[in-house]
Amino acid sequence: SATAGKRLTIGLIPADGIGREVIPAARQVLEALPSSVLAARVGFVDLDAGFEYFQKHGEALPEETLAALKSDCDGALFGAVSSPSHKVAGYSSPIVGLRKKLDLYANVRPVVSGAAATASGARRAIDMLIIRENTECLYVKDEQQHEGPDGKYALAKRRISERASRRAGEMAFAMALQRDGMRRLMDDADRTWKGRPKVTIVHKSNVLSVTDGLWRETVRGVHTGNAAYRDGVDVEEQLVDSMVYRMFREPEAFDVVVAPNMYGDIISDGAAALVGSLGLVPSANVGDNFVVGEPVHGSAPDIAGRNIANPIAAIRSAAMLLERTGHAAAALAIYRAVDCVLAAGNVRTPDLGGSSRTSEVADEVCKHL
């Protein structure tokens, strides 16, 4: 293969709480990949960041961590960061810092149903990939309160740019084709989505005709401006309200969904609820030159330090990292091994109704590789 003999170096940033348990579990799975699916040799760099680190050292994202990521690593895995309930002077979230400094402009969140979802009575046949624009929209956090003749009012700015919209759109169409490629490696029975690749553009341009109008037009332009996308990917639009409605009524109708930052945030939490535990859902922060895999869950202080956190979200995040760095066969091997473990059902952490430990789930996934 093209990657034979190459090295793949992954930065590991467990950060806080259960991050310290689930990232080692993901590492164990990466180390257990047989050379038949991963020709590259994997190496790891242990890196500091997080709220606990901030409390000891006065910074949440040390310069050395950033420098090591940039100079030594092909990608990284981030665990979780605990968010202080009150504002702490000098503290800002390290994952938000990483997104900015590494220009990780899209948050990619696959939401997939499987044996665990079925067991917990959740919905069937969900295989959706949500692309959330990661840099602008209402997250520019430019708010002001004013005093008017009728009392106080507040304004928030919402930025939508052609550049950010185009980059998110590019990501969506490229991923739609890439997913199609992955599916071709699978047996028909394992494929949830059987149609042509499809991208659903989410917006509310009937109300926000200027901002969402620019978003919609720009993303559509990515489709019409590229022959491979025009020929290979269908495109549809959904107003965000009807998107939510349809997602709950027929989640199996969606392939790739692309949304501005705030709509994407809301939709993806809703989608995660459709498939069972927070401990199952991975994500990847993606830019042109770097990828940071990150489980969707937080640091879960209520269960931290007890070896009972579900490591599957982190393990799947590691697989996303492999997918993004050109190691599709290895990624697929992890996805399949996880599905086997979930389907067998005898080794599950407490969030899925079992009594297994974090480390036992990791061992079990390794056995199925």
As annotated, the active-site residues are 139, 204, 241, 265, 269
Task: Indicate which single residue of 97, 270, 298, 326 sits in contact with Mg ion (rule: CB under 5 A).
Answer: 298
200/283 with CB nearer ligand ATP: 283
Task: Indicate which single residue of 200, 211, 218, 299 sits in contact with ligand ATP (rule: CB under 6 A).
Answer: 299
97/298 with CB nearer Mg ion: 298
CA distance 355 to 351: 9
Does residue 351 touch ligand ATP according to CB under 6 A? yes
Partner interacting with residue 302 (select from ligand ATP, Mg ion, none; CB below 5-8 Å by kind): ligand ATP
Residue with structure tokens 């009150």? 86
Burial grade of 149 (CB within 10 A; 0-12, 13-18, 19 or more): exposed
Which region among 126-134, 225-233, 296-304, 360-368 touches ligand ATP (by CB under 6 A)? 296-304
Q: Taking the complex as a whole, how short is the minimal distance between the CB of residue 17 and ligand ATP, in angstroms?
A: 6
Q: Where are the alpha helices (DSSP H) in 192-345?
A: 211-224, 227-232, 240-249, 261-274, 312-324, 328-344
Query: Over the range 33-61, which residues count as b (16 or more CB within 10 Å of their CB) and which as e?
Result: beeebbbbebebeebbbbbbbbeeeebbb
Residue 153, token pair as written in the block: 């009012």
Task: Indicate which single residue of 63, 150, 187, 302 sits in contact with ligand ATP (rule: CB under 6 A).
Answer: 302
Q: Which residues in 7-46 contact ligand ATP (CB under 6 A)? A: 18
> Of the candidates 159, 158, 133, which has an alpha carbon nearest to the alpha carbon of residue 261?
133
Q: Taking the complex as a whole, how short is the minimal distance between the CB of residue 277 and ligand ATP, in angstroms?
A: 6
81/322 with CB nearer Mg ion: 81
Enumerate binding residues for ligand ATP (CB under 6 A): 18, 80, 82-83, 278-279, 297-303, 309-310, 313, 349, 351
Enumerate binding residues for Mg ion (CB under 5 A): 298
